[in-house]
A and B are shown apart, each in its own frame.
Chain A
Amino acid sequence: MDFDSVFVESPAEFFSENKNIAGFDNPGKSLYTTVRELVENALDSAESIAELPTIEVTIEEISKSKFNAMIGLVDHERVDAELYDDYENEKAREKRLAKEAREQERQAKAIAAGKKVTVPKAGKGRGDTVFYKVSCKDNGKGMPHDDIPNMLGRVLSGTKYGLKQTRGKFGLGAKMALIWSKMSTGLPIEISSAMKGQKFISFCRLDIDIHKNIPNVHVLEKKPNTTGWHGAEIHVTIEGNWTTYRSKVISYMRQMAVITPYAQFLFRYRAGTPEKNVSVQFVRRTDVMPPAPPETKYHPSAVDLLLIKRLIAEKSKQTLIQYLQQDFVSINKSYAERLIGEMGPDFTPKMLVKDLTDQQLVRIHQLFRQAKFDDPDGDCLSPAGEYNLRLGITKELHPDMVATCQGNEMSFGFDSVQVFEGHPFIVEAAVSLGGKSVKPGLNIFRFANRIPLLFEQGGDVITRTATKRISWSAYKISHLQDKVGVFVSIVSTKIPFKGTGKEYIGDDITEIASGVKSAIQQCCIQLKAKLVRQKAARDKLERKKNLSRYIPDVSRAIYGVLASIANEREAKRQKYEPDSREILHKVADKEVTEVTLSRKLTQYVDQVDAELALDYATQSGLVKAREPISLAGVDWTQANYLELHSPVCVMKLLS
């Protein structure tokens, strides 16, 4: 990180004002956000050195007494019981005992009836704050030994000179989690880190002086690195709530595994009691990793006045023409000259940017807003890729069918990159059908810059598009009964998040909404073709059954009419053709009955079915009737066979 051009702000202020915005609304959400910040940091770190990420996350429950021991507080027995909030008075105790007695009685009955009994869990009292130690270990870049305190113990705002597709929403990395640990437990954090090829592991224990915004280092030492490990391992102890956010944390990990199939995740939860332990492994399925997104420059239509000023403050010796040409995309030299000409007589190409007055800056900003520029290209974006998306879905959901559609230059040309307010974006989508642990109906998975979005899905452009604007039935998909998985991943240099916690993408941006819609539709079209083929195959199997079902109806109805004519007087039959009269005779003589008709129809259906089955087979090229073949004996005495060696076997080619 470039320490020369950073400025410091008070993290305490920022955090206390923005706790809910950053995802620390309550202990449960804080636990979730902590995990996700550490995981995303770890992924970024590994990807920055093009290393396939291997990440281990552990959440360890810490009981109150253990916590007290950790902070050196002796457990206190309650002396004045009535002082506490969860004190049980006489009445409440009677109530509870009565309830327990009823419960026991019910269980006894259940046992007698041979049913399985679940023991009701004892509820936690309100005062029982639960603490968790969250650890995250990666195989990323690691940190230089001496920079560790500053990199973690200070809230720094990196230079915003360039622009980049990033995972983080606030550009603060894992620091919010560290501050939350300081605020909720006050316990120091522990970091082990090693850089590639480093002979030692740095170990550091520190906490943050929030108000002064400086690290307070307890220990910083070097330990031998015997295994050649590189990366970082962070332990933070925070207040949290596993019970309420358990499913969120696990689905976050699972969705992360879907969008990042080249990473290996190990997630463990260690509870106070072993039966509540959780351990999930998300295996790596590919070693194809999307390239790390490169930094790019701003597009003139994406900057505001403040940003213009900041960009100028960075480089003081620049001339106006250099500034326009070098600090922005989509402006070349001749275009810069035209722009300067348009700005007015006060502007010259050679003037220094630091000499620009505020009014002149406003003029530049106005022109940026009004002038026409080429769209930025999508080279700076790094989408998950069709291959990875498909792999991720297949490995985590095991669907019966999956179709993907990708906005990658290679497959669709530059059309797939779209632009919103000067920021390029790419939409990728996948639609899956069936699979394990997928509920019937639409299951929507949203990803923004390759991280899953789990909250506030109601207003999200992806949810709304999938539920309201796709006519699923047109693609032979029943969105109420089928197990449909809809995956949409949007990457951009700036994701237009909405809502306090930046948890969803608004539905008011036409470019994105139509991009999402067409991507999902592309997938559906692919699926439809498959579904139609499948249906044809199924129809083939069920045709005979379908046709046969109506034989009784038809033969009964026809015979009904025939019988009623045959009952009429002979003279009346004269009006019919001779062969019709013959039929009527046969009906009258019981030679033709309902059974005859039904038998004839059954024969007919058999015949038709056989013919159509043959047609189908010829069309789909499966007509190969089985023929017995005989294998000739091999004369092994002839020695000149070509041998093909592989690690598993040797094959001999017969000439």
Chain B
Amino acid sequence: MAPRRGGDGGNPGGELRKRLKTDGSILQIIKDFAEATARAGIRGEKRSLSDLALEESCREVAELGSGEVKEEIEKLVLSVTKSILQGQGLAYTVPSRTSANQLYVEELDRIVLKDKTSIRPFASSSTVKKTAITTRILELVHQLCSKQIHVTKRDLFYTDVKLFTEQAQSDTVLDDVSCMLGCTRTSLNVVASEKGVVVGRLVFVEDGDRIDCTKMGVGGKAIPPNIDKIQDMESDALFILLVEKDAAFMRLAEDRFYNRFPCVIVTAKGQPDVATRLFLRKMKMELRLPVLGLVDSDPYGLKILSVYMSGSKNMSYDSASLTTPDIKWLGVRPSDLDKYRIPQQCRLPMSELDVKTGRDLLEEDFIKKDPRWYQELELMVKNKEKAEIQALSSFGFQYLSEVYLPMKLQERDWI
């Protein structure tokens, strides 16, 4: 257990500190919570899109093996060849990934892609370049699947810089290709570079190596891009703590927060990448642990939570394997600002854009479905104040790990 240092005297942080119960009783509260979660099972776990009989038909992709992906590409290329040899040029039918083609399914608590598609013909000045890029990406993915190797998105871009001109182009087409072939992006053997980090009471085997996340120092273990190489997850943690920011992650890792309250701490340093989302889902599914989110009290913090939970619009075709249901919003919530008496100088006024983003979020289904979340966001938009996790440092650098989080856990203050 971490030694308790520093006495904050008369400030509000100090008062709260006095109200903290012993670690033992807090632990008991978490244990009950973790057991309840494990018993309840995972909502929507067994349900898939096909069980729901939705009015609109939706598109979902599946995890395919290299051989299957290869075969799909070959079929596509052969049909294109046929069309060219018949003198009809070529065109691809690409599922549309615009926001108009997205649907939030409440039963599943995630966004899915509807079945609208667009034609990408070679014979139009506006789409010829994309068509060419699509063809080239298909060829490159075909190579990767034949050789059974993985490359990063950056690698892929550099194989034909002249054609792709910028990475955003090849990245977008890559997502299009996974939609067209009906497989996840991971199945294409293309991964994003490492971004997420994990630390805490977790042991797993990665490509044959045993990784103990309690022995990863303060930096944590980078979440590997190939989730399929991770096996045999084991943990004695009681919950997973999802952190938005790198700085807060480092604070918790350095204070060995996971030793005081057994947990696994994960961050994607801002907007989560595919690997981190896959990893979180895998942990949740295999370990059956509750997930608590610690994000900034601003619209973007909520957006990040929503991406973990319901998926991003850009990759909604694969939301089934990327989303983690039932994440609890632990903090920093707009109501915390007054409850924990965050000083005024640590709160920031929201810009017009922030307020607008907040208002737009109020319209989103994933906020509306939980009245408590809705109330919190409403409060934020009303007060026009935001605060970062770091605002808690105004009571001392370790306030986050020594007072705020234990207090939150003791009070079961998550929604």
Contact = CB atoms under 8 A, between A and B. Distances in A.
Interface of A: 539, 542-543, 546-547, 550, 553-554, 557-558, 560-562, 564-565, 575-577, 579-580, 583-584, 592, 596-597, 600-601, 603-605, 607-608
B285 interface: no
Of A543, A546, A557, chain B has the most CB atoms within 10 Å of the CB of A557
A547 B136 contact: no
A561 B77 contact: yes
B78 A583 contact: yes
B125 A561 contact: no
B128 interface: yes
B132 interface: yes
Nearest to A597: B84
B388 to A, nearest CB: 31
B77 A547 contact: no
A155 B142 CA distance: 90
Contacts of B142: 560-561, 564
Contacts of B82: 579-580, 583
B146 interface: yes
Interface on chain A toward B: helix, strand, loop, or mixed SS?
helix
A560 B159 CA distance: 14
Nearest to A548: B128
Interface of B: 71, 73-75, 77-82, 84-85, 87-90, 122-123, 125, 128-129, 131-132, 135-136, 138-139, 142-143, 146, 163
16 contacts: A547-B128, A550-B128, A553-B132, A553-B163, A557-B132, A560-B139, A560-B143, A583-B81, A583-B85, A584-B78, A596-B85, A597-B85, A603-B87, A605-B89, A608-B89, A608-B123
A407 B163 CA distance: 50
A597 B84 CA distance: 7
B181 to A, nearest CB: 13
A605 B77 CA distance: 19
Contacts of A596: 85
List the 10 closest A-B pairs by CB distance, nearest first: A550-B132, A557-B139, A604-B89, A580-B78, A608-B123, A561-B77, A557-B135, A553-B132, A557-B136, A560-B139
Contacts of B123: 547, 604-605, 608
Contact of A604 (B73, B84, B135): B84
A604 B89 CA distance: 6
Contacts of A584: 78
A546 B132 CA distance: 12
A566 B85 CA distance: 17
A554 B81 contact: no
A597 B83 CA distance: 10
Given A547-B123, A561-B74, A553 B135 contact: yes
Given A550-B131, A554-B131, A562 B85 contact: no
Nearest to B79: A580
Given A554-B132, A560-B139, A561-B74, A546 B125 contact: yes
Contacts of A608: 89, 123
B128 A561 contact: no
A503 to B, nearest CB: 34
Nearest to A583: B81
B138 A592 contact: no
Contacts of B87: 600, 603-604, 607
B125 to A, nearest CB: 5
Contacts of B80: 558
Contacts of A597: 81, 84-85
Nearest to B132: A550
B228 to A, nearest CB: 24
Contacts of A577: 78
A378 B139 CA distance: 69
B129 A558 contact: no
